Amino acid sequence: MTTRRLLLVNGPNLNLLGTREPAIYGSETLDDVEALVTEAATAHGYEVRAVQSNHEGVLIDAIHAARHDCSGIVINPGGLTHTSVVLRDALSGVALPVAEVHISDVMAREPFRHHSYVADVAVVHVIGEGVPGYRTATDRLIAHVEAR
């Protein structure tokens, strides 16, 4: 694929970044996340299309659409990480490389957060690096895309 675009997907409750449990998620906002990913992608000559929704179907539709004009997907599925086979199947079905990001260290939190349905379809995993982890995930995903 020659399109130099990434889809950035943020799942449920990530619209509350900056105000939701700042001791866990920090004070940076979703706008900060989107700006950070855009800056990182632009440095490599990529565009970013960003979507955040609290509705699983909206995220799945965006993932399906990405197969037409994106080179990869950076995703923080939020709570859907631990519950959504459907989201995992959408990511698998579009056959694009995926970078999974989590702001907090999910393995150091409640046991139900220890399983990720996305893990086996992602080629990049960045867990517990805070919002800067989105930059790491973007850089690693682009390196993977360009090595293919």
Active-site amino acid positions: 25, 102
CA angle 54, 42, 100 (to 5 degrees): 40
Does 89 appear as a known binding residue? Answer: yes
Q: Does 10 count as an annotated binding residue?
A: no
Strand positions, DSSP E, 24-97: 47-52, 72-76
13 labelled ligand-binding: no
Residue 135 carries which DSSP code?
H
Please give the DSSP secondary-structure letter assigned to residue 16: G
Nearest to 121 by CA among 76, 79, 146, 90: 90
- Does the annotation place 135 within a ligand binding site? no
The answer to whether the annotation marks 44 as part of a ligand binding site is no
Tell me whether residue 76 is annotated as binding. yes
What distance in Å separates the CA atoms of residue 145 and residue 148, rounded to the nearest whole number? 5
3's tokens: 């399109």
Task: Count other Cβ atoms within 10 Å, centred on residue 120.
Answer: 9
Which residues are part of a known binding site? 76, 82, 89, 103-104, 113
Which residues are part of a known binding site for substrate? 76, 82, 89, 103-104, 113
